Chains A and B, each alone.
Chain A
Amino acid sequence: MKCTKQKRLSYTEKALQIVNSLTLEEKVSLMSGNISLESMLEDMRDDPDNKHYNYIPYSAGGIKQHNVPPMLFCDGPRGVVCGNGKATCFPVSMLRGATFDIDLEERIGRAIGKEVRAFKGNLFAGVCINLPYNPGWGRSQETYGEESFHLGEMGAALTRGVQKENVIACVKHYAFNQMEISRFKVSVDCDKRTEREVFLPHFKKCIDQGAACVMSSYNLYKGIHCGHHEYLLNRVLKEEWDFDGFIMSDFGWGIRDTAEAANGGQNMEMCCTEFFGEKLVKAVKDGLVDESKIDDAALRIIRTLIAFDEACDRDYDESLLGCREHINLALEAARKGITLIKNDGLLPLDKAAVRRIVVLGKQGRNEVIGDHGSSQVRSSYVIVPIKGLANVSPKSEVVYYNGEDLDHAKELAQSADAVVFVVGCDHDDEGEYVAVEPDNSYTGSVGGDRQYSLGLHQDEIELIQTVGPVNKNSVAVMVGGNMIMMEEWKDSVNAIIMAYYAGMEGGTAIAEIIYGDVNPSGKLPYVVPMKESDLPQVNWDSENQWYEYYHGYARLEKAGIAPSVPYGFGLSYTSFEIKNAQFTKADAAVIASCEVTNTGERSGDEVIQLYVGFQNSKVDRPVKLLRGFKRISLEKDETQKVDISCPTEELCWFNEETGRMELDHMEYEMYIGTSSAGKDLVRGSVML
């Protein structure tokens, strides 16, 4: 990365000179967006296909005569939302989380960075690392999973990739933003340990890895808007974490008060100028905001922008948009992330034996790439599941029916050699939420959180229960942004695949896995419980929400509740054996190593996972937490040695008395294996 933090800080002097040459009005002009809400909404109304949200990079600031470039905002994370029919639509972050592939995520970051530049942008606001406290959060698809360590690793990889192409990575939404329909009003509260051990570490990791921008969230934390939050913005982010970049608000409703926001540490109002601009100049003149706050914001903005501007030493032309290389990357991600959850000897299907395959369920023919909110990417094409199946096995007749009439569905299923149910969520079920009525919302869909159920729709459940048993070669493919309950119907099919929202080539990857052209290797980045009540409960439409310390797999493990499917679980068409596990300590790290052998009949990828247990702690701590992972590829019969090391600082807990992260000196349980389930792990220990 050319534009490291160190490099950026080397521009401090130059930036200060510019700041000192600017008037108050000029400095303030850098601190907010250049477009008007009216023109933005008018564009969306007039030409929703072409002038959609963020169809061109949204600019803020910029002073030509002082050589300060404007910030040019491009949204994500599914790719770059600009343009129409040009960008590459990658699988959503949740699927990329399921790849557990740091290298891949960094390569995706580079591809996205190139496309941001090709759209003439310089900032990518797609490093979304909010932790879904409950999987019903409607925008879970934009983040990587339920585990803070894993979220941080994936977010940091995307950050590095994007910034390697001289594009500013913007990490969002800081912080505690995991409720969609209440996002403008809910105040989240939790204890200090929950804040520091569960909800902030992944943000810190991205900052430590050099992220140059942070977007504050809409919601409130402990009664204060995060966009104004002196504690979160000034004390934690800028002082404790020594963040050198700038902060921007979330769009439209991210700032509610001029002086409170500026004093709270907010640097940039996006994407229009409402509370900053003239009002901020006046607030300074009235003595409500000290000019040093303005100078600090201007310095951060100018330093970051000129550093990235000068680092950008190559041309990025439009031919990069949706280029073959990037589309192949989207396909690679889909192949590696789609997760095989159940397989009673059914998959892969034999193309020659499948003369007719029947696809049932509403999503089978849809472009299942995610919601219609600010992360919607408009690629030149999308391979829908039925098209993927027809392309991958051209000799198998593909017949699709939505499944409404169960008798007809049964008849079709009886006539087929195999049946694929494609079921789950779409943009109306979950996603960015603006208004109750789709007409009043620029997204044109309902979205929001999954308030009523984390399962499939009732008609889909009935479809699978009724038609699944008719044909023993039945596979369910679930689409969605986060965990979908399976208890009611999982026994009615012989195979279950989680496809998430698999991007523009998603249909291809789904079919390749069903027919075995690709050996599945994704791992669930969340736990699937037997009962929804095993998860922390959230009042989705609320002004107040308390977050407990335990969520996800850590919560189930602590309560001794067996999951339906464990965190980190995913099947393969081959088998792997782990031997000679060893656990040691180094200077400031613990190291787990083992030998992994592919004992099956074909090559495949496996994700080796390191969990650390805290049962000897004198304080209340999780049974174990993921603290390292590595994806490996093994040929048939190949053995590879895997080392996973974890810095001891990742093992700390937050001591509220000292106000610091502290390391327990004790014996830690160490686990290495292929999922979080005890049977998939080899156990040992390390004394620290």
Chain B
Amino acid sequence: MKTESYLFEAIEDRVVYPAKVFLASIDHSSFHWHYEYELILVLKGSVLVNADQKPVVLGVGDIFLVNTQAIHEIYRTEEEENICLFIQISQNLFNDFRDASQIYHFYLNSKSETLKPKKEFRHFIKMAAQIGLNAIERNENTAYRIKGMLYLFIADLYQYTSYDIYQRGSETAENENMEILMNIIDYIQIHYQDENVLGDLYKKVGMSEKSVYRLLKINIGFSAKELVLSRKLDKAKYLLKYTDKPINCIVDECGFHSEKTFYRTFRKVLSITPNEYRKHGIVLKDSREIKGYLDFNQTEGRVLLENIVQRRC
């Protein structure tokens, strides 16, 4: 992992318990990964989560687990503001009584019609809300309680959800693939405007086009080409919204070869023309930070959590 990478999200706030629990209103969070398992519970509005190669829009009351080391992105949707509970749980906690050379990939996604857990989603939702409420309290007593509840939650994941196991050998260097993968994504994030970005990329990582394609498809569901395009469009959207630059400049700056291609592609992907977007498009910050958070009312979040906990099941 390159140290300068802005894509690796270090989740280090673990002074009291081996998890980071917080409420947030998500603007966007582009492709990244971390060792923590990340549980997302939507309390208000909706968000788009793109993990497991399947983008999914989560609405109020939906729960989604992003697995350890899974590359994912999260976006607000255009309709309304959102409030989400995030519980980022240290991978070590999952390995306390298990072989650490096995990585579990759980299926917990209340929007999915397949691989449903053997316990109802509301069971997991209620547990998550309880953890969230205790985290807001934040004192020594709740720290014990949270750690206990995290264990309960993990036990139920092991017992009631479907999962795949990724087995590493004793000698395998940890995350060798993951490192290459992040290097590839990093490279694209930085060099997407270059004319020969993909050719340079294959040379730099020493892999064939086919191998890179396969690695990306398996892990994030996008090809390098699609990733480059998506970055170009993100940049274009930002320049359209926040600058007065003429479109022909934006076309160059984003690495599109002709205005014609730019218009066609923009329209095809976003179902809207660049000019229309400039007038009506939603706000996206070109933040170099991993996550864009929006302001929201903490009290509202707390009330929403309490509602879930108090709801009779």
Q: Which residues on A are within 8 Å of B, measured CB to CB?
A: 355-356, 359, 365, 386-387, 389-394, 397-402, 404-405, 407-408, 412, 415
Contacts A405-B115, A407-B114; A397 near B166 (Cβ below 8 A)? yes
In contact, A391 and B170 (Cβ under 8 angstroms): yes
A415→B164 CA distance, assembly (Å): 13
Asked if B167 is at the interface (CB within 8 A of a chain A CB), the reply is yes
A393→B166 CA distance, assembly (Å): 14
Asked if B223 is at the interface (CB within 8 A of a chain A CB), the reply is no
Identify A387's interface contact among B101, B114, B214, CB under 8 A: B101
Contact residues in B for A405 (Cβ distance below 8 Å)? 114-115, 162
Number of interface residues of B (CB under 8 A): 19
Query: Which B-chain residue is minimally distant from A358 (CB atoms)?
Result: B164
Q: Is the interface of A mostly helix, strand, loop or mixed?
A: mixed
A657→B19 CA distance, assembly (Å): 83
In contact, A412 and B164 (Cβ under 8 angstroms): yes
Query: Which A-chain residue is minimally distant from B171 (CB atoms)?
Result: A394
In contact, A390 and B172 (Cβ under 8 angstroms): yes
In contact, A356 and B218 (Cβ under 8 angstroms): yes
The list of the 6 closest CB pairs from A to B, nearest first, reads A390-B169, A400-B165, A391-B169, A386-B167, A398-B167, A394-B169
Contact residues in A for B164 (Cβ distance below 8 Å)? 399-401, 412
Contacts A394-B172, A408-B162; A387 near B218 (Cβ below 8 A)? no
Asked if B177 is at the interface (CB within 8 A of a chain A CB), the reply is yes
Contact residues in A for B163 (Cβ distance below 8 Å)? 401
Min Cβ gap B207→A in Å is 12
Contacts A404-B162, A405-B115, A407-B114; A390 near B218 (Cβ below 8 A)? no
Interface string of B247-258 (1 = CB under 8 A from A): 000000000000
Min Cβ gap A681→B in Å is 42
In contact, B165 and A386 (Cβ under 8 angstroms): yes
A547→B294 CA distance, assembly (Å): 80
Asked if B168 is at the interface (CB within 8 A of a chain A CB), the reply is yes
Min Cβ gap B212→A in Å is 13
Interface string of B144-178 (1 = CB under 8 A from A): 00000000000000000011111111111000010
Within 8 A of A (CB), among B169-222: 169-172, 177, 214, 218
Min Cβ gap B68→A in Å is 15
A389→B165 CA distance, assembly (Å): 13
Contact residues in A for B170 (Cβ distance below 8 Å)? 387, 390-391
How many interface contacts (CB-CB < 8 Å) are there between A and B?
58
Contact residues in A for B171 (Cβ distance below 8 Å)? 391, 394
In contact, A408 and B115 (Cβ under 8 angstroms): yes
Other 4 A-B pairs with CB < 8 A, given A391-B169, A391-B170: A365-B165, A387-B169, A397-B166, A408-B162
Q: Which residues on B are within 8 Å of A, measured CB to CB?
A: 99, 101-102, 114-115, 162-172, 177, 214, 218
In contact, B168 and A390 (Cβ under 8 angstroms): yes
Query: Which A-chain residue is minimally distant from B214 (CB atoms)?
Result: A355
Contact residues in B for A402 (Cβ distance below 8 Å)? 162
Contact residues in B for A398 (Cβ distance below 8 Å)? 166-169
Contact residues in B for A397 (Cβ distance below 8 Å)? 166, 177
A264→B166 CA distance, assembly (Å): 59
Contact residues in B for A392 (Cβ distance below 8 Å)? 169
Query: Which A-chain residue is minimally distant from B162 (CB atoms)?
Result: A405
A356→B171 CA distance, assembly (Å): 17
Contact residues in A for B114 (Cβ distance below 8 Å)? 405, 407-408
Query: Which B-chain residue is minimally distant from A365 (CB atoms)?
Result: B165
Contact residues in B for A389 (Cβ distance below 8 Å)? 167
A394→B99 CA distance, assembly (Å): 17
Contact residues in A for B115 (Cβ distance below 8 Å)? 405, 408
Query: Which A-chain residue is minimally distant from B177 (CB atoms)?
Result: A397
A404→B164 CA distance, assembly (Å): 11
Query: Which A-chain residue is minimally distant from B99 (CB atoms)?
Result: A387
A387→B164 CA distance, assembly (Å): 14
Contact residues in B for A365 (Cβ distance below 8 Å)? 102, 165, 167
A675→B163 CA distance, assembly (Å): 42
Query: Which B-chain residue is minimally distant from A404 (CB atoms)?
Result: B162
Min Cβ gap B163→A in Å is 8
Contact residues in B for A399 (Cβ distance below 8 Å)? 164-167
Min Cβ gap B95→A in Å is 15
A407→B115 CA distance, assembly (Å): 9
In contact, B162 and A390 (Cβ under 8 angstroms): no
A412→B172 CA distance, assembly (Å): 22
Contact residues in A for B172 (Cβ distance below 8 Å)? 390, 394
Contact residues in A for B169 (Cβ distance below 8 Å)? 387, 390-394, 398
In contact, A415 and B218 (Cβ under 8 angstroms): yes
Please, could you name 10 A-B residue pairs with CB atoms under 8 Å apart, sorted by A?
A365-B167, A387-B101, A389-B167, A390-B101, A390-B168, A390-B170, A397-B166, A398-B166, A399-B164, A401-B162
A387→B169 CA distance, assembly (Å): 6
Contact residues in A for B99 (Cβ distance below 8 Å)? 387
Contact residues in A for B102 (Cβ distance below 8 Å)? 365, 386
**Which has the most chain B C-beta neighbours within 10 Å: A392, A401, A404?**
A401
Contact residues in A for B101 (Cβ distance below 8 Å)? 387, 390
A402→B102 CA distance, assembly (Å): 14
Min Cβ gap B115→A in Å is 6
A399→B164 CA distance, assembly (Å): 6
Contact residues in B for A400 (Cβ distance below 8 Å)? 164-167
A399→B99 CA distance, assembly (Å): 15
A399→B165 CA distance, assembly (Å): 6
A229→B41 CA distance, assembly (Å): 71
Contact residues in B for A401 (Cβ distance below 8 Å)? 162-165
Min Cβ gap A234→B in Å is 53
A407→B112 CA distance, assembly (Å): 13
Min Cβ gap A312→B in Å is 38
In contact, A390 and B167 (Cβ under 8 angstroms): yes
**Which has the most chain A C-beta neighbours within 10 Å: B102, B163, B177?**
B102
A503→B134 CA distance, assembly (Å): 47
A365→B99 CA distance, assembly (Å): 11
A390→B169 CA distance, assembly (Å): 4
